[in-house]
């Protein structure tokens, strides 16, 4: 565990330095960018060590993996007040578990149907679930998300967003996207630019809401995402290493 903690400390420091440099190059404060440590497939003891080193936000892809971690870590982590993020695809049949798990933010709402189910189950649990709307702005068929290409379709897309805003059990906080696999921070920037433009359009044309969050950028491309306005970057490999 000592070696693990030392390696984690070095990796976290390097990622935080990369975030700071990217923000400063973009004329932004590093405090405007929150680091989401992608903890999927990593065991509780490693996440506990990361929390003890100051990380507070963790991202999971699967509800069945996240639930026991959420239950266990508040009692074992040195750092209290952890925030858990659902960053993976949520099937409609898993909406009840997602709404009741206690996620600080669900990044991957990709349909009105899923939002409606989250709303219903969140209300039943006596809570409002903050969400991001996942958008496919790259046009890749393999990507999840609201179809957001071409930009000429954005007006119709905003009608879908408005339906979700009107739901009582969810709160729309912004948008999320994924760049094409293998893209670096420069080649991914046009994708991030399009998400930022879509978010600006939604903020201008839809009823007032908190559209403050842009979740975009991962290990290979988060500097480009920060340059284009990312407020949440989802970093796994650069912190925890390659998954086994």
pLDDT reported for residue 97: 96
Instruction: Write the DSSP string, the chain.
Output: -HHHHHHHHHHHHHHHHHHHHHHHHTT--GGG-EEEEE-TT--HHHHHHHHHTT--EEEES-HHHHHHHHHHHHHH-SS-S-EEEE-S---GGGHHHHHHTT-SEEEEE-SHHHHHHHHHHHHHTT--EEEEEEEE-S--TT--SEE--SGGGHHHHHHHHHHHHT-TTEEEEEEE--PPTT--TTTTHHHHHHHHHHHHHHHHHSSS----EEE---TTTHHHHHHTT-SEEEE-HHHH-S--
Tell me: the pLDDT tens digits for 156-187? Answer: 999 999 999 999 999 999 999 998 776 666 77
pTM: 0.94
* Band of pLDDT at residue 188, cut at 50, 70 and 90: confident
* pLDDT tier, 24 (very low <50, low <70, confident <90, very high otherwise): very high
Whether 79 has a pLDDT exceeding 70, the answer reads no
pLDDT above 80 for 74: no
Its CATH class, for the domain covering 2-240, is alpha beta
Could you tell me the residue ranges of all domains in the chain?
A: 2-240
């Amino acid at each position: 565990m000592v070696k693990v903690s030392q390696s984690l400390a070095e990796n976290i420091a390097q990622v935080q330095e990369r975030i700071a440099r990217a923000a400063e190059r973009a004329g932004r404060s590093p405090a405007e960018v929150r680091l989401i440590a992608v903890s999927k497939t990593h065991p509780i003891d490693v996440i506990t060590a990361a929390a003890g080193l100051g990380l507070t936000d963790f991202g999971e892809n699967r509800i069945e993996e996240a639930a026991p971690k959420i239950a266990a870590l508040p009692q074992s982590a040195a750092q209290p007040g952890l925030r858990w993020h659902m960053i993976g695809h949520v099937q409609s049949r898993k909406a009840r578990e997602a709404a009741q798990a206690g996620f600080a933010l669900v990044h991957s709402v990709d349909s009105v149907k899923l939002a409606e189910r989250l709303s219903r189950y969140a209300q039943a649990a006596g809570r409002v679930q903050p969400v991001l709307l996942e958008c496919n702005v790259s046009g890749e068929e393999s990507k999840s998300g609201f179809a957001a290409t071409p930009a000429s379709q954005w007006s119709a897309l905003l009608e879908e967003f408005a339906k979700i805003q009107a739901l009582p059990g969810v709160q729309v906080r912004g948008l999320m996207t994924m760049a094409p696999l293998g893209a670096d921070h420069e080649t991914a920037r046009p994708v991030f630019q399009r998400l930022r433009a879509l978010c600006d359009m939604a903020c201008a044309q839809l009823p007032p809401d908190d559209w403050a969050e842009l979740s975009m950028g991962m290990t290979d491309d988060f500097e480009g995402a920060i340059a284009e306005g990312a407020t949440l970057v989802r970093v796994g490999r650069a912190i925890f290493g390659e998954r086994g």
